[in-house]
Amino acid sequence: MVKILLDPSMYHPQLSVAGELHKARELGFEHLELSPRADFHEWHHYPKVDRHQIAEVKQAMKDTGVSIGAFNPVFDWAAPEEQERQAQVRNWKRLLELADALEVPLIATEFSGDPNRALASEHQFYRSMEELVPVFEKYDLQCTIEAHPYDFVEENDQAVQIIRGVDRDWLNYEFCFPHAYHLGRGARDVREMMDYAGDRLQHLHVADVFDHTANVGNRYIMNPPGVDARIHQHNEIGNGEIDWDDAFSYLREREYDGTVTVCVFGWEEEADAINVRMRERILAELGGR
């Protein structure tokens, strides 16, 4: 039975973290995956949380029965510049303190770094892990990492290999469906990529996406040609080209029972209805709570 989390990104402009816990309860979710927001853990910035906010969030969790099942921070711990890497490790240490204070069991994150300086970024990632492994273990936290478009590692197999290199049972892989056409360069199916991760596959981000590599690369047109950028979406299941029947069939075959996060972005006008339908589809396919 999987554990289903809601990424409340579409509610960040209107609701506080406490308000998002209430929204999750309203929509039928029991768990939240708190993605970056300016008043909590913004991308690459030191967390802006004090004891009063912690108390407010704890009270909202008590009132709703909804837990924060994961934090989803993005800190550039693989920054090639050493001063920046050190600042990002400082951010990480504070974030892990907050996870402990709010009894958040899982950190779901990205590799970050610079894809144009991939080897230097990999060196820095492992250097940061040397500093942070004792902190993760002090607080008994789990961590999953996804390969992300424009990180220093963008492909499925390489991401799994880098995680294996750290060699900790609590550090595992998150497969992000809306990144699928970057993860496999548009040439591999999701079943094959998830299978490569083996037991390291412990977390899924679920949303649909169109294949940006289709139609000789003209599905999306970016200017100027060859611009150093990446493109993808986080759409509702059915609004994209992922083969969901095959994906869910594979997950049932392997009896996947890890974490699943609903993470549709950019459709705020239909946010409630989309998130409810996404949860219902996952429940129908995989069971869950």
* Residue 221, domain extent: 3-286
Query: What are the backbone angles phi and psi of residue 5, rounded to the nearest 5°?
Result: -115, 150
Report the chain's mean pLDDT, rounded to a whole number: 95
Q: In the 8-state DSSP scheme, what is residue 208? A: B
Q: Span 10-27, mean pLDDT?
A: 98
Q: How many CB atoms lie within 10 A of CB 212?
A: 19
Quick: pLDDT tens for 26-77. 999 999 999 999 999 999 999 999 999 999 999 999 999 999 999 999 999 9
Quick: pLDDT tens for 135-161. 999 999 999 999 999 899 999 999 999
Quick: pLDDT tens for 195-219. 999 999 999 999 999 887 887 777 7
Provide the pLDDT for residue 190. 95
Q: Span 119-148, mean pLDDT?
A: 98
Q: Write the CATH number for 92.
A: 3.20.20.150
Provide the pLDDT for residue 149. 93
Provide the pLDDT for residue 83. 98
Asked whether residue 221 carries a pLDDT value surpassing 90, the answer given is no
Listing DSSP states for 63-119 in one string gives HH--EEEEE-----TT-SSHHHHHHHHHHHHHHHHHHHHTT--EEEEE--S-GGGHH
Of 186 and 282, which is predicted with more confidence? 282
Q: Is pTM, for the whole model, over 0.75?
A: yes
Q: How many separate domains does the chain show? A: 1
Per-residue pLDDT band at 186 (split at 50, 70, 90)? confident
Tell me how long the chain is.
289
Q: Span 226-246, mean pLDDT?
A: 90
Q: Span 124-137, mean pLDDT?
A: 98
Which distant-in-sequence residues (6+ apart) come within 8 Å of 71 by Cβ?
Answer: 33, 34, 41, 95, 98, 99, 104, 106, 107, 108
Per-residue pLDDT band at 225 (split at 50, 70, 90)? confident
